């Protein structure tokens, strides 16, 4: 396990994933009934963008730093940026999710890296609505689903350190869907070049899982397999209006973070019908 999210926190991929995550959580909060969120690959919860790791890559400068510096943020990004501003130290997914829980909602986090897991545990030590597990996030899909609330979201955000990660995500989605058919599943994926993403989508179609939408954001045409050219968020059982509301959010991100490079753009498409 070499991946440390501290090097990448605040990059364009984080902004894309978290802006849509905020929308999904707002959608869950439209109904009064409590919900639960399982964050299978949680990270440490907060990141210091002025710290060594973040400064070494400078990735946040083309991500959250740029969005926050924009004179007038697009209204589509306002709910997301309001949370980032409110939380101060740059928040990872567990802190963003925690900020949007109501008193009866719950967050369950899994983080396999022992040091990162301890950091996350300390962060939520006195928080009764959050539990942190030092376990494999994929294994948790079997062990911890369905939640007692029977409504909620599963966020699958692995590091994609090796090519098999796409297969693990497909298997994880099948497991999660079988155990928690009504749950919203959101899985982030990198877009370096098209071939692995096509294979990933084809494998998902073959599972027979229904009601899948992909939201993709490209900084440039995905032609160089050595670069993170874009990313996607796969959403299963998307809440009402996701397909209408996600494109303007991605459009606002493109306006705020656009590179002007050929092939930059975004798309929200249905991969499998309801």
Residues serving a catalytic function are 157
From 46, 99, 131, 159, residue interacting with ligand SAM (rule: CB under 6 A): 159
From 87, 99, 131, 136, residue interacting with ligand SAM (rule: CB under 6 A): 136
Size of the site for ligand SAM (CB under 6 A): 20
DSSP string, the chain: ----GGGTTTSHHHHHHHHHHHHHHHHHTTSSS--EEEESS---SEE-TTSHHHHHH-GGGGTHHHHHHSSS--GGGHHHHHHHHHH-SEE-HHHHHHHT--TT-EEEEE--SHHHHHHHHHHTTT-TTEEEE-S-HHHHHHHS-S-TTS-EEEEE-----STTHHHHHHHHHHHHHHH-TTSEEEEEEEESSHHHHHHHHHHHHHHT--SEEEEEEESS-S--TTS--EEEEEEESPPTTHHHHHHHHHHHHHHHH----TT-EEEEEEEE--
- Applying CB under 6 A, does 158 fall inside the site for ligand SAM? yes
- Applying CB under 6 A, does 10 fall inside the site for ligand SAM? no
Q: Give me the least distance between CB of 71 and ligand SAM, in Å please.
A: 27
- Applying CB under 6 A, does 137 fall inside the site for ligand SAM? yes
| Span from 57-65, 67-75, 136-144, 204-212 in contact with ligand SAM (CB under 6 A) | 136-144
| Span from 73-81, 134-142, 173-181, 206-214 in contact with ligand SAM (CB under 6 A) | 134-142
Fill in the per-residue mask, 23 to 62: x = in contact with ligand SAM (CB under 6 A), - = not in contact: ------------------xxx-------------------
From 3, 118, 193, 247, residue interacting with ligand SAM (rule: CB under 6 A): 3
- Burial class, 240, CB count within 10 angstroms (exposed 0-12 / middle 13-18 / buried 19+): exposed
Place of tokens 């599963």: 154
- Applying CB under 6 A, does 7 fall inside the site for ligand SAM? no
Q: How far is CA 89 from CA 45, 82, 160, 183, in A?
A: 10, 13, 25, 30
- Applying CB under 6 A, does 238 fall inside the site for ligand SAM? no
Q: Give me the least distance between CB of 18 and ligand SAM, in Å please.
A: 6
Cα end-to-end span (Å), the chain = 37
- Applying CB under 6 A, does 98 fall inside the site for ligand SAM? no
| Span from 55-63, 155-163, 238-246, 248-256 in contact with ligand SAM (CB under 6 A) | 155-163
Give residue number: closest CB to ligand SAM.
92
9 versus 212: smaller Cβ distance to ligand SAM: 9
- Applying CB under 6 A, does 183 fall inside the site for ligand SAM? no
159 versus 239: smaller Cβ distance to ligand SAM: 159
Under the rule (CB under 6 A), what is the footprint of ligand SAM?
1, 3, 5, 17, 41-43, 92-93, 110-113, 116, 136-138, 157-159
């Amino acid at each position: 396990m070499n991946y440390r999210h501290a090097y990448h926190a605040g990059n364009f991929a984080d902004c894309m994933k978290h802006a849509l995550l905020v929308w999904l959580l707002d959608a869950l909060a439209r109904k009064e009934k409590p919900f639960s969120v399982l964050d299978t690959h949680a990270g440490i919860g907060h990141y210091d963008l002025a710290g060594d790791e973040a400064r070494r890559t400078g990735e946040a400068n083309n991500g959250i730093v740029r969005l926050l510096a924009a004179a007038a943020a697009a209204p589509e990004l306002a709910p997301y940026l309001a949370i980032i501003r409110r939380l101060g130290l740059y928040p990872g997914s567990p802190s963003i999710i925690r900020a949007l829980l109501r008193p009866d909602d719950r967050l369950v986090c899994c983080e396999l890296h022992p040091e990162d897991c301890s950091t996350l545990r300390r962060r939520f030590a006195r928080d009764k609505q959050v539990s942190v597990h030092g376990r494999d996030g994929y294994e948790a899909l079997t062990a911890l689903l369905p939640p007692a609330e029977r409504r909620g979201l599963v966020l699958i955000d692995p590091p994609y350190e090796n090519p098999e990660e796409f297969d693990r995500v497909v298997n994880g989605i099948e497991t999660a869907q079988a155990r928690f058919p009504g749950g919203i599943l959101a899985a982030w994926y990198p877009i370096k070049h098209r071939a692995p993403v096509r294979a990933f989508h084809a494998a998902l179609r073959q599972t027979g899982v229904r009601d899948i939408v992909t939201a993709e954001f490209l900084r440039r045409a995905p032609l160089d397999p050595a670069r993170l050219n874009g990313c996607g968020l796969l959403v299963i059982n998307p809440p009402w209006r996701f397909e209408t509301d996600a494109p303007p959010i991605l459009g606002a991100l493109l306006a705020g973070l656009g590179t002007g490079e050929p092939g930059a753009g975004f798309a929200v498409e249905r991969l499998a019908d309801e």
